Structure 1
Amino acid sequence: MNQTLGHKLFRTKTASKQQEGGLARTMGLFPLTMIGVGATIGTGIFFTMVEAVPKAGPAVILSFLLAALTAGLTALCYAELSFRIPASGSSYSFAYATLGEFAAFIIAACLLLEYGLAASATAIGWSEYLNNFLQMAFDIQIPEHLRTAMFVADADHGVEFHPGQFNLPPILLVIMCGILLIRGTKESAMANALMVLVKLAILLFFVVIALTGFNADNLTPFFPSGEGNAALAGVTAGAGLVFFSFIGLDTVATAGEEARNPTRNVPIGILAALGIVTLFYMLVAVAAVGAQPAEMFADQKAGLSVILQNVTGSAWPAVVLSAGAVISVFSVTLVTIYGQTRILYAISRDGLISPAFSRVHARTQAPVINTVIVSIVVALVAGLVDSTFLWNMVSMGTLTAFIVVSIAVPVLRARQGEALTRGFKVPFGPYLVPGLSVAACLWIMYGLSSETYQAFAVVMVLALATYFLYSIRHSKLNQG
């Protein structure tokens, strides 16, 4: 009995089997890269500066750098695995081919947590920038009870319940994203690419203007929490908050089954997206903390717009940035919902969840039922819950997925051996870079709050219950 159970837990799905599916290969290198950039730029810069700077101070620059270096190590692992296993599902598919079904399902739960909460969190932030834009451009404000969550986190009183409040704008945003995704992947990728180009131009606009107000005194003290371990703790805590914004790397890999020439384009797309994202994050972080004192970031709504208004003494630069943020967050939400649906598609195709999630529309070749369900759940979370609940949970899911991807590299190398003679390979052997990636991820995870670990434990219990009550019996591998 134990051997039978053990076999089920560790059975693997070969790389060739991972590629069997009904999705159309419509994306080239440019839209793939833009998916990575679109899923990344916007979240960390437009929102988490407000959360991260009060913890790390001006040293938030190092927080972004630490997160980028960690993501870079993992990006190399993603690049190799996406060459060997060019399928939908990203980390889930990689784990299924290397570590076995049980580990793959646990990672799937982390990915669903990562993508679902990231989509909700960014949609919530969109509400703030939309209101800021309407106020400055047209002197219109969305009523507060229609842009405030029903469940709000409070440092002194825990969770507060406000039955008369409902955050309507993020729900409308998610509906628009869902409609676009239902129309088809090619159309969604083109729309995302256009929005990404707009957001990059807007961020360059912010950097140029913010640097005119740069004051070196704003960088002092660089470590407001003190020296030594205290300073390091502040930087690590900041890195934990911003790390979820590197979710874009994983999103490129979720498109492996819809990419043309995936063994070439997906690895290049991952590394290109990382380079673009890191450059823009560092430029904006330096310009922002140089333009205003660190203590002003706390609870600052639509923070980058406020910085421009303070630097120039004029409203029009802030209006331009707020308009860019509205477009930017649309792009982020669109791509994260897309990634969520493709993860569910891969899990469903393997029989581990309901087959409804892998049904593809005959004309658009999009998983319509899947997209509708995901959009409803994301919209409800975004409309009801304060984003304070979501940031660290997204980082936890992302870091866990990155750890598994790093472990999968030496496992795949050991299994395929001499067959790995061509294509992209992680440099310096199969252990050094993946090992450093795991260590860096664990270091950032250490800085997350105890509440994050408690919530993550609840998610894992639910995942275990689902696997043993349903998935292990309905797995397609039972047929073999």
Structure 2
Amino acid sequence: MPADLTFRRQLLRRKPLASFEDDAEHGGLRRTIGLFQLTMIGVGATIGTGIFFVLNSAVPEAGPAVIVSFVIGAITAALTAFCYAELASAVPVSGSSYSYAYATLGEFAAYAVGCCLLLEYAVSVSAIAVSWGQYLNDLTQRLFDFQIPAAIAAPPGAGGYFNLPGAVLVLLCCLLLVRGAKESAVVNTVMVLVKLAVLVLFVALAVTGFHSSNLHPFAPMGMAGIGAAASTVFFSFIGLDAVSTAGEEVKNPRRTLPLAIICSLVVVTTVYVLVALVGVGAQPWTAFSGQEAGLSAILVKVTGASWPGALLSAGAVLSIVSVVLVVLYGQTRILYTMSRDGMLPALFHRVHPRSGTPVAGTVAVGTLVAVLAAAIPLDELADLTSMGTLVAFVVVSVGVMILRRTAPDLPRGFKVPGYPVVPVLSVVFCCYLLYKLPTHTYLLFAIWMALATAVYLLYSRHHSRLQPAGDAPDPALHP
């Protein structure tokens, strides 16, 4: 066989569906997570600090019609969420869109998507951890009139020398993840319920100051403003894909995974729309521009008391903790799956016999992310999170269409409604948002992918578990 043909087949070989099922049953991870806890993982990864502050940037773009922008964002998120739900029910394993790409698009495409996810998770969790010190300082200032010195509460370039709170937060979350997936899910559930309670309390208090006159004019910037605000708020829906990283630790995954994805979307959308509706009804839309701690400021105006500010700051602090915990969890599971397939060194898929978790991989990830959070200002890398996320979304939507054609009889616990319109629309919208990203983001992404490609060529393709099998095609995918 010619060498160039062998190389091409290496790039395009697909992992047999039977191998996914065998890995899931004998991989070493324990099925301890139920529907409610998995839904809370999705909600915890999605509702971060964004909703506490996004109105300040979105309302000036759309006015009171920001409510419509949130609905548009939810519809867009639903397009991709439905695609995730179908693939999660058909290929119920860890690894999220990396695994789905391996089953549909081939090895190199899967590897590239996995690298996109690792980039997305590492940059986003580091950036989120960096901001934790700021919110923690705001809370301690309100409660105890005390602040952590800026020198150790912010990274270089952001007014400090070493972000100690961010590093400590990452390491504490890693210690919890090492103890076990079940324990981590329980703690996350508690934190998510608390921050949901804080947002529900905001709605209950702010609605007392609701005035319909604040909704006029409803769309001062027209449809252009509504569309611009929709792009702004869409990224508040990113995180639902975290549900699919838990495929091998979920009870009855073919049923639980799609249900958890859809339930997470419903909860998140309901909370966002209610917060937006009550927020713009409680004060004129022109008051949002330049307003700091928007939700806190609204409650102070409505109640005339200062305690709501401390309450909302506490909610933001808990939001960050739960997001860091869930994103670190997702990253370790993607690394676990890629390592098990031979794409990365074996370190990342070694499971501790007592805890049933990839301890070494979790420690390695936690150490790297803690260093990033402590010592590197990540403002310039923020758009890379969007790039990695949108690429993964496109792959999942395309994967649904490919798997429908190549494996039509594969058992699915959920099917995308309105097929093929829904996955096509998902691809179109994601490509539009990719087009809107700045040029420097593409440059940084290209550098990252060049490094990742070098690793694949020098290591991954030679260590792939499919390599000894002679690149035999999967009969399930090639009927």
Q: Please give the residue correspondences for 1:217-366 in structure 2 after superposition, counting only pairs within 5 Å.
A: 226-227=221-222, 230-231=224-225, 234-239=228-233, 242-243=234-235, 245-292=236-283, 297=288, 302-366=293-357
Change (3 A) 1:441 1:232: same
Give the TM-score normalised by the residue count of structure 1.
0.90
Partner of 1:434: 423
- Cα pair distance change 1:5/1:56, threshold 3 Å: farther
C-alpha contact 1:108 1:347 (8 A) present in aligned 2: yes
Shift of 1:113: 1.5
Q: Which residue pairs with 1:205 in the alignment?
A: 201
Give the deviation of 1:144 after TM superposition.
2.3
CA displacement at 1:310 relative to structure 2 = 3.5
Shift of 1:199: 1.1
- CA–CA distance in 1 between the matches of 2:166 and 2:217? 37
CA distance in 2, matches of 1:300, 1:124: 22
Query: CA 1:235 to 1:270, structure 2 compared with 1: closer, same or farther past 3 Å?
Result: same
Kept after mapping to 2: 8 A contact 1:132/1:302: no
Aligned to 1:180: 176
Counterpart position of 1:79: 85
Whichever residue aligns with residue 378 of structure 1, its letter is V
Q: Tell me the amino acid that sits aligned with residue 365 of structure 1.
A: G
User: 1:158-179: CA deviations, max 9, x gaps?
Assistant: xxxx6x5332221111111111
The answer to whether the Cα contact below 8 Å between 1:74 and 1:402 also exists between their aligned partners in 2 is yes
SS of the residue aligned with 2:466?
Answer: helix
Letter in structure 2 aligned against 1:440:
F
**Does residue 18 in structure 1 map to residue 24 in structure 2?**
no
Structure 2 unmatched runs, 5+ = 470-479
2:30 alignment partner, SS class? coil
**Match of 1:207, as an amino acid?**
V
Change (3 A) 1:346 1:295: farther
Identity %: 53
1:183-194 superposed matches below 5 A: 183-194=179-190
Contact 1:171–1:380 (8 Å) recurs in 2: yes
2 CA distance for matches of 1:435 and 1:392?
24
Q: State how far apart, in whole Å, the 2-side matches of 1:176 and 1:421 are.
A: 40
Which one-letter code corresponds to 1:205 in the other structure? L
Distance 1:381-1:439 versus aligned 2 partners, 3 A rule? same
- For residues 128-173 of structure 1, the C-alpha deviation after alignment (integer angstroms, 9 at most, x for no partner) is 2211111111111222222233134xxxxxxxxx6x5332221111
Closer, same or farther: CA 451–321 of 1 in aligned 2, 3 Å: same
Moved more, 32-41 or 206-215: 206-215
1:345 to partner: Cα distance: 0.5
The letter of the residue matching 2:414 is F
Which residue identity lines up with residue 443 of structure 2 in the other structure?
Answer: Q
| Letter paired with 1:169 | P
* Aligned counterpart for 1:450 among listed residues 424, 439, 456: 439
Greater displacement, 59-68 / 322-331: 59-68
In 1, Cα distance between the equivalents of 2:65 and 2:377? 26
Aligned to 2:191: 195
Tell me if the contact between 1:55 and 1:238 (Cα under 8 Å) persists in the aligned partners: no
Q: Is it true that 1:139 corresponds to 2:145 in the alignment?
A: yes
Separation (CA, whole Å) in 2 of partners of 1:287 and 1:312: 14
Q: Does 1:6 align with 2:2?
A: no
Preserved contact between residue 170 and residue 379 of structure 1 (Cα < 8 Å): yes
State yes or no: 1:467 paired with 2:456: yes
Match status 1:34 vs 2:40: yes
In 1, the alpha carbon distance for the partners of 2:256 and 2:79 equals 19
- Which residue of the other structure, out of 409, 414, 424, is the alignment partner of 2:414? 424
Of 149, 161, 167 in structure 2, the residue corresponding to residue 165 of structure 1 is: 161
Shift of 1:18: 1.9
Q: 1:43 to 1:399 in 2, by over 3 A?
A: farther
Contact 1:207 1:287 in 2 (8 A): yes
Q: Partners in 1 of 2:467 and 2:317 — Cα distance? A: 47
CA contact (8 A) 2:166 2:373 kept: yes
Q: Which range moved further: 378-387 or 390-399?
A: 378-387
CA distance in 1 between counterparts of 2:454 and 2:368 reads 20
Q: Is 2:130 the counterpart of 1:124?
A: yes
Amino acid at match of 1:235: A
Gaps of 5+ in 1: 153-161
Question: How far 1:66 sits from its partner (Å)?
Answer: 2.5
In structure 1, the partner of 2:473 is none
TM-superposed deviation, 1:210: 2.3
User: Cα offset for 1:449?
Assistant: 2.4
Inter-CA distance 305–376: structure 2 relative to 1 (3 Å threshold): farther
**Inter-partner Cα distance in structure 1 for 2:368 and 2:295:** 29
Q: Give the aligned residue type for 1:441.
A: C
In 2, the alpha carbon distance for the partners of 1:49 and 1:389 equals 22
Moved more, 441-450 or 215-224: 215-224
Distance 1:399 1:462 in 2: 20
Q: Considering only aligned residues, what root-mean-square deviation do their CA atoms show, in Å?
A: 2.3
Change (3 A) 1:311 1:167: farther
The equivalent residue for 1:477 is 466
Q: Distance between the aligned counterparts of 1:246 and 1:455, measured in 2? A: 24
> Do the aligned partners of 1:15 and 1:84 also contact (CA within 8 Å) in 2?
no
Q: Aligned to 1:363, what secondary structure does the other structure show?
A: coil
Contact 1:233 1:447 in 2 (8 A): no
- Native 8 Å contact 2:162 2:374 kept in 1: yes
Using the alignment, how far apart are the partners of 1:47 and 1:168 within structure 2?
24
Count the aligned residue pairs: 463
Tell me the SS of whatever aligns to 2:33. Answer: coil
After superposition, the Cα gap between the structure-2 partners of 1:325 and 1:252, relative to the gap in structure 1 and judged at 3 Å, is: same
Work out whether 1:110 is the aligned partner of 2:112: no
1:394 aligns with 2:401: no
Shift of the 50–479 alpha-carbon distance from structure 1 to 2, 3 Å rule, reads farther
The AA in structure 2 aligned to 1:425 is: K
Amino acid at match of 1:472: R
Q: TM-score, normalised by structure 2?
A: 0.90
